């Protein structure tokens, strides 16, 4: 049995095993304390998605070699700016009354921002 656990940890990785175990323990503790699971899971998925976008926004800064101390704030700000731009362009572009004024925002890079923003 102990060899099987060691094999799972070796194949899955120790950090992932610790994180998964901690997450499972928190979910069990939430059930013991009577915290509703559905909103908890919804919040977890939303935060994972937001953090995933912010991490992806940091990748170009890290690959260009400007360092994490500068890349972290720059990547986070760029990710937030991209999300804000996508939300704002969508709200302008979907109003029929402002469609003639918003046609420049409907070109493909803007549509890509909209898709990434959601």
Give the helix ranges, DSSP H, for 1-118.
Answer: 2-12, 14-32, 37-64, 68-93, 108-117
Give 42-87 pLDDT, tens digit per residue. 888 888 888 887 778 777 777 887 776 776 677 677 778 877 887 7
Same domain, 41 and 81: yes
pTM across the whole model: 0.46
The domain of 66 spans 37-117
Q: What is the pLDDT of residues 7-47, one digit of tens each?
A: 888 888 888 889 889 989 988 999 999 988 888 888 888 88
Q: How many domains does the chain have?
A: 2
Q: Are 57 and 78 in contact (CB under 8 A)?
A: yes
* 96 & 48 share domain: yes
CB contact at 8 A, 70 and 58 = no
Distance between CA atoms of residues 3 and 26, nearest Å:
26
Is residue 23 located within the same domain as residue 48? no
Band of pLDDT at residue 118, cut at 50, 70 and 90: very low
């Amino acid at each position: 049995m102990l060899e099987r656990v060691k094999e799972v940890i070796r194949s899955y990785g120790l950090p992932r095993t610790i994180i998964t175990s901690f997450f499972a323990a928190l979910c069990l503790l939430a059930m013991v304390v009577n915290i509703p699971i559905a909103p908890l899971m919804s919040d977890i998925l939303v935060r994972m998605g937001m953090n995933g976008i912010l991490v992806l926004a940091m990748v170009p800064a890290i690959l260009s070699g400007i360092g994490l101390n500068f890349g972290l704030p720059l990547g986070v700000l760029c990710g937030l700016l991209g999300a804000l731009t996508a939300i704002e362009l969508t709200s302008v572009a979907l109003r029929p009354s402002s469609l003639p004024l918003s046609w420049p925002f409907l070109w493909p890079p803007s549509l890509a921002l909209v898709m990434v923003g959601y």
